[in-house]
A and B are shown apart, each in its own frame.
Chain A
Amino acid sequence: MTVPSKDDLLLEVKNLGVRFAVKRNGFFGGKSFLHAVDDISFDLARGKTLAIVGESGSGKTTAALAVGRLVAAHKGEVQMDGKDFLALSDEDLRIARGKVQFIFQDPYSSLNPRLRAKAVVREPLDSLTEKTEDEKQEIIDQLFAAVGLRKEQQELFPHQFSGGQRQRIGIARALATEPELIICDEPVSALDVAVQAQILNLLRRLQEERGLSFLFISHDLGVVQHMCDTVAVMYMGRIVEYADRKSLFNSPKHPYTKALLSAVPSVKKRGAPTTERIAIDGDPPDPVDLPPGCRFASRCPLADVSCQKSEPELTAMSDTHTVACHFAQAD
């Protein structure tokens, strides 16, 4: 992989932070904040896929929602086409929203049960574009064909579809405004394995045909490995490792990434692979009251005194691989 030049970049996220106020110390206690996403930066090139991985509670979904302005960021920039998406308002924002669309995890609750399939796909066209009725219908017809649904299925309601078909409707809806960026939040984790493959193949085909960029959130490392071009690994709101696909999976540097990869059960590892598995047993720290130093130190097999004192910065190991660990070494 080569470093993409400035012109190829669709998205540049700089120092993004999202915090939630939490009540502590009873009624008169001060407010404290939970930093769900804490000062993260990444870029996404046009036509490529960036995957964010991590366990539940790592902040991966919040980060993606903040990029699409579905939760408010308290700091940072999301540069898209030379404009800060987070600073837009009114009409500029409405137009820009058409360029950023979502595919959600749960195909059951993310479609309005009272709307026919064609109305679901039509909604973003109504609210984000100025197309005529005929143009809208043409787009809907063409999208149904593109995601592999039949024309007569446009008249059905969501409950008449299977999970995989519903996710196809969700994808058609996301494509309706011809977006450049699609944020896929665990798009296949609610689906059966056989249907998962159909949806993943569809997403990759659409990406190729339409030059889409994906911000892909998943906890399934097999799926991430198949879909991504670059990967950001998040832990407790921070990016701990950020690299291109091949170097992340072939030579992971952060002990957390290594532990994640070794935890995936595989058809290749028969019997109990306890010897090669990196156990991370301890508990993660309290997210509201983070200790100084590395957030992973309490569970890290390598941690020593220095890790409890100073927090490691993201450091470049190569052009396309950065890691936040005191012990990381370049190849």
Chain B
Amino acid sequence: MAAPLLELENLRVELTTKDGAAPVIDDLSFSLSAGETVSFVGESGCGKSMTALAIMGLLPAGIGRVASGSIRFNGEDLTTASDARMREIRGNDISMIFQEPMTSLNPVFTIGEQIAEVLREHRNVSDAEAKSRAIELLDAVRIPNAKGRVNDYPHQMSGGQRQRVMIAIALACEPKILIADEPTTALDVTVQAQIFELMRDLGREFGTSMILITHDMGAVAEMAERMLVMYAGRKVEAGPVDQVIDHPQHPYTRGLISCVPHLLTELTDERPPLAEIGGIVPSLKEFGRNACLYAARCEWADAKCNSERPQHDVAKNGHETACWHAGRRS
């Protein structure tokens, strides 16, 4: 097997809080191969977006830092790369689409200019070339009448169209990795379906690897090959999507899947209450304790869960779980 494109090894990211340094990402390892889509799931505050920011070298300045571990992209360690080198990589080799298409575009520049900016920065092209490439990209993300709309401002476009523009910007330099942080949360379902289809098609066309951050298990099932469940900064379960969704081993994963009212194809009169995960994600103060951080919300928690951090068990099929009671039923 070829070396993975991106490899995180024992990554620990700390945020400075008034109670000291809290590990928002705690001992995270994972790898992404060329052309593959991996999905990160979990509630807010579990470190999904922080992982993305760490890879991009965009951790909040002065507050967040990589404390230990490595992020290797094509063999190069990004945690020690210079700012200038990171600027070369961002937008060129690794790019990102953010959750809010409304606020992540600059309102005072035309969309054509915002796409062209990336190309001028990384590709050393003339203004005219950048503009014609911008039109091609708008066409590629299926904005009708691309030529006529290239001089539009963001406010002249709908939410779905703005997200398409974001995708066009992200893909302008044909990056090797695209990180999408909840790309469709602010959009309607029909638009979400179109955006997912677009991402899948373009990913296939350009051979881009994708990291999809989401809380929607349905989206994971449709988009990703592998998934990684995060809780309180730690990886609690990971593996092939089919495996994890059909046979979740960690009680948190099981809870995440069953607490959502999934759309049923054959609806009956029966409507049992939804499975609940009681409580909420612990506060940053709790992060980093040598214990299972899910124990407070877990029905199986015992003394061991509260005093020792569970180890990762890896099965042959690549399905790994960090739970003292992994695989237990009911």
A246-B269 CB under 8 A given contacts A193-B259, A196-B259: yes
Is the pair A249, B267 in contact by a Cβ cutoff of 8 Å? Answer: yes
A158 to B266, CA, bound (A): 41
Question: What are the interface flags for A244-267 relative to B under an 8 Å C-beta threshold, 1 for contact and 0 otherwise?
Answer: 011001100000000111111111
B269 neighbours in A (Cβ, 8 Å): 246
Is the pair A193, B43 in contact by a Cβ cutoff of 8 Å? Answer: yes
B245 neighbours in A (Cβ, 8 Å): 267
A192 neighbours in B (Cβ, 8 Å): 43-44, 215, 280
For window 176-201 of chain B, which residues contact chain A by CB distance below 8 Å? 188-194, 196-197, 200
A194 to B269, CA, bound (A): 24
Interface size on A, residues (CB 8 A): 47
A150 at the interface (CB under 8 A from B): no
Among A82-90, A138-146, A216-224, A317-325, the one that faces the other chain is A216-224
Name A259's contact: one of B190, B219, B242 (CB within 8 Å): B190
Is the pair B189, A246 in contact by a Cβ cutoff of 8 Å? Answer: no
A30 at the interface (CB under 8 A from B): no
A269 at the interface (CB under 8 A from B): yes
Interface size on B, residues (CB 8 A): 48
B86 at the interface (CB under 8 A from A): no
A225-B267 CB under 8 A given contacts A196-B259, A263-B189: yes
A221-B263 CB under 8 A given contacts A193-B256, A263-B189, A265-B218: yes
B69 at the interface (CB under 8 A from A): no
B242 neighbours in A (Cβ, 8 Å): 270
A112 at the interface (CB under 8 A from B): no
Is the pair B261, A223 in contact by a Cβ cutoff of 8 Å? Answer: yes
A265 neighbours in B (Cβ, 8 Å): 192-193, 196, 216, 218-219, 221-223
A279 to B263, CA, bound (A): 18
Spell out A's residues near B (CB within 8 Å): 55-56, 162, 164, 192-198, 200-201, 204-205, 219, 221-223, 225-227, 245-246, 249-250, 259-274, 277, 279-281, 283
Q: A197-B276, A283-B144 are in contact. List 4 more A-B contacts (CB 8 A).
A: A56-B188, A194-B256, A201-B276, A222-B263
Which 7 A-B residue pairs are closest in the complex by CB-CB distance? A265-B218, A226-B261, A197-B259, A263-B193, A194-B277, A55-B188, A197-B274
* 13 residue pairs A–B, Cβ–Cβ below 8 Å: A194-B255, A194-B256, A197-B274, A197-B275, A197-B276, A197-B277, A200-B274, A246-B268, A263-B190, A268-B262, A270-B222, A272-B222, A273-B222
